[in-house]
Structure 1
């Protein structure tokens, strides 16, 4: 799986992220404001593309996270036979 690093603060709902070595689609994202001595945090909730498991992480908004390169293509089914998979 090919990945590219992006800032956690630049992600949006509907984009993709790698959590626990599994590609996920972001369904919920909240950003907190920076405090007196701390940096702003992003709480990301995502659902796995392959297994459907809900995963969440909390990271600083300036931290680099992995984003999978997802290629979407359209195809046409020519024939479905009972002996093929």
Structure 2
């Protein structure tokens, strides 16, 4: 007889989790049109003659800044992305990619330097020899640099 095989998944193994539309809040996260977004505007319409109260949401994509809108019945579920933010120490910049140091000592070298003002800020801080960390936001299999913090020695 063969031993049963068990698969283990850590918390956050799924990229999204369901949440009732009426429970979503402004400044929270939601998946709109297949993209992870931060809710910037929300309004609820009253129950009509036919059907449910509707929730109108406007969200900004947390990676590319695009605006998305959606309307859903307040009793229906929407997907909410698992969003994580981690700080990594920047140890190098090469060919437009950042070389980041994790807390456990491993290096992460697969993340591009942003082309935005944040990318220029990271480049200038690195060139100046400042000691700082880069905040990396991850959701739905995508990751991007979203900020920096200077380390106090």
- TM-score range normalised by the length of the shorter chain: 0.7 to 0.9
Q: Structure 1 pair 13/83, CA: closer, same or farther in 2 (3 Å)?
A: same
Q: Distance in 2 between matches of 1:64 and 1:14?
A: 18
> Relative CO higher for 1 or 2, CA cutoff 8 Å, sep ≥ 6?
1
Question: Which one has the bigger helix percentage?
Answer: 2
Listed as ranges, the matches of 1:31-70 within 5 Å are 31-70=44-83
Gaps of 5+ in 1: none
1:74 aligns with 2:87: yes
Gaps of 5+ in 2: 1-13, 98-153
Question: Which one has the bigger strand percentage?
Answer: 2
Q: How many residues align?
A: 84
CA RMSD of aligned residues (A): 1.8
TM-score by length of 1: 0.86
Work out which of the two has the higher radius of gyration on C-alpha atoms and give 1 or 2.
2
